[in-house]
A and B are shown apart, each in its own frame.
Chain A
Amino acid sequence: MSEWWTYRLTSFLLFSPRTYYRTIELYNLAIWPAQLAGMAIGVAIVVLLMTSIGQRGRIIAALLAACWLWIAWSFHYQRYAQINWVAPWLAAAFVLQAVLLIVAGVLGGWLVLQPVGSRAFAIATSLVAITVVGYPFLAPLTGRAWTTAEVFGIAPDPTAIATVAVLALVRGRIRWLLLVVPLLWCAATALTLWAMKAPEAVVVVVATLFASWPALRGSRNQIRATEAT
């Protein structure tokens, strides 16, 4: 791209805010009542996080992978691609995330979560719960119709935020590999919303920072432990 410095954020926005939210609305109407299934999966993940059953890492990874696969196909490839020619690549990135979750979490069993009871754990679990239950309320709170509500497991933004919150609790360096796509999506969607002057941009940024905190804190502790030995 020539003279890249002359481009503004809005130069990359291919659609109007009205078209963007209308796309979400038509998607919601077309897939109803899949939103209920998405919320049920979200609630199940919160419950699994609060229990200490042996296979919870594998189950959570499988549930998250299912959500990422669904969004890749049903939202990015079938809907968003109509107004954004980058969307097929976004669909591929979401499929990649699902594959990583299946390989590392379901087959590898490497999704070992921090113990229940830590402060990081409480923050992450609360954030997942708030995202699952509260994110749809952003639509009416920002003056949009309920039909444009973004639901966990169905819409990319709440799904990515909740995924970051869960993966930030994972022990070991594998979490950084698993966090790449969700964090990149959060950054991309925040920039898109910012370009549209949508207040949700701030919500995405703040929620992502909170969600990432346990991962950053875990890395710092790991470095300190290494230095101590």
Chain B
Amino acid sequence: MWTRRRILRTLAVCGAYAALRPSLARAQSRSILTRPIPSTGELLPVVGLGTWITFNVGDDPAARDACTEVMRNFVEAGGRMIDSSPMYGSSQDVIGYGLRKAALAGRVFAADKVWISSGAQGREQIERSRRKWQVSRFDLVQVHNLLNWQEHLPTLFALKAAGQLRYVGITTSEGRRHRDIEQLMRNQPIDFVQVTYNPVDREVEERILPLARDRGIAVIVNRPFREGALVRALARQPLPAWAAEVDCGSWAQLVLKFIVSHPAVTCAIPATTSVAHVRENMNAAYGRLPDAELRQRIVAVVERA
């Protein structure tokens, strides 16, 4: 029989065991870092998965299976947001293949884009994309690179109002059209904005990230590694010892933690074809984040590389 004394004794034994096995205690308390989507409060893990170039593998069965493994490992590590676009060649088909094969459809936050000059064909393109993903609906659809946002945004808001879409966003990359992005953030009821941000490309720190906080807009960060070039450049020098202060074992993790430690950032979406890399990236969604002083040290060391 479980008496009060027995319960207390059992708890004491468990506590002592945990104290003797700190690694076990850490593992049990390890929870993924999340940020709320300001418009709803829904929590999103701070590291997502991009698919630009990496998932455009055509109908190559071996490459499709490799992408499926990347997605499986991403979700098993706690990841949710997968982002794609009709512009990314076969990426949407490959995502759909992986979601079905690994039975992941209900476990991901499906983010896609509309990318077509004709406003009238926007709905049709989104429906084509949805069929390729093989999901019942998208969580988020963004106007890719602001292409004909004048016609696409009303379509997306209508889909959201009809319950066929949960969030609406806009995207840009590599610092393009930031003035237009700002205007839309001020004047349109968007939920998400997607921009490029990393320790080298920090222009968004000046206006767009503060504006996102003010307006309650979630921020997705693309090209965190400058398509791999940043990490390749950093790999020529040893990782600073102080990286361990924020639980980073690699340059990729340090860069990701720099990005997601900005209070306005909701989620970074590195792309990869490697299971080892996706695991490494997802580890950046755990543990401590750099404070302002450490963020400056990261910028300094990256700029020297």
A interface vs B, CB < 8 Å?
Answer: 2-3, 6, 10-11, 13-16, 19, 22-23, 26, 79, 82-85
Give which listed residue, B58, B59, B60, B176, contacts A3 with CB less than 8 A.
B176
B53 at the interface (CB under 8 A from A): yes
7 sampled A-B residue pairs with Cβ under 8 A: A10-B227, A15-B89, A19-B57, A22-B63, A23-B58, A82-B89, A84-B89
* Contact, CB under 8 Å: A22 / B57: yes
Which residues in window 26-73 of B have CB below 8 A to A?
A: 53-54, 56-60, 63
* Contact, CB under 8 Å: B53 / A3: no
Given contacts A16-B53, A16-B56, A82-B58, 12 further A-B pairs with CB under 8 A are A2-B146, A14-B87, A15-B53, A15-B89, A16-B273, A22-B57, A22-B63, A26-B60, A82-B89, A83-B57, A83-B58, A85-B89
Q: Which residues of A contact B100 (CB under 8 A)?
A: none
B132 to chain A, nearest CB (A): 13
Q: How far is the CA of A83 from the CA of B59 in the complex (A)?
A: 9
Q: How far is the CA of A13 from the CA of B89 in the complex (A)?
A: 11
B interface vs A, CB < 8 Å?
Answer: 53-54, 56-60, 63, 87-90, 146, 174-177, 227, 273
Q: Which residues of A contact B88 (CB under 8 A)?
A: 14
Q: Which residues of B contact A11 (CB under 8 A)?
A: 174
A83 to chain B, nearest CB (A): 5
Q: Which residues of A contact B175 (CB under 8 A)?
A: 6
* Contact, CB under 8 Å: A16 / B54: yes
* Contact, CB under 8 Å: A19 / B176: no
Q: How far is the CA of A83 from the CA of B88 in the complex (A)?
A: 8
Q: A19-B63, A82-B90 are in contact. Are A6 and B176 (CB under 8 A)?
A: yes
Q: A2-B176, A16-B54 are in contact. Are A82 and B63 (CB under 8 A)?
A: no
* Contact, CB under 8 Å: A19 / B177: no
Q: How far is the CA of A2 from the CA of B273 in the complex (A)?
A: 30
Q: How far is the CA of A15 from the CA of B58 in the complex (A)?
A: 10
Q: Which of chain B's residues has its CB closest to A4's CB?
A: B176
A80 to chain B, nearest CB (A): 9
Q: How far is the CA of A16 from the CA of B88 in the complex (A)?
A: 12
Give which listed residue, A2, A23, A84, contacts B177 with CB less than 8 A.
A2
Q: Which residues of B contact A19 (CB under 8 A)?
A: 56-58, 60, 63
**9 closest A-B pairs (Cβ-Cβ)?**
A82-B58, A83-B58, A83-B89, A14-B89, A3-B176, A15-B56, A19-B57, A83-B56, A82-B90
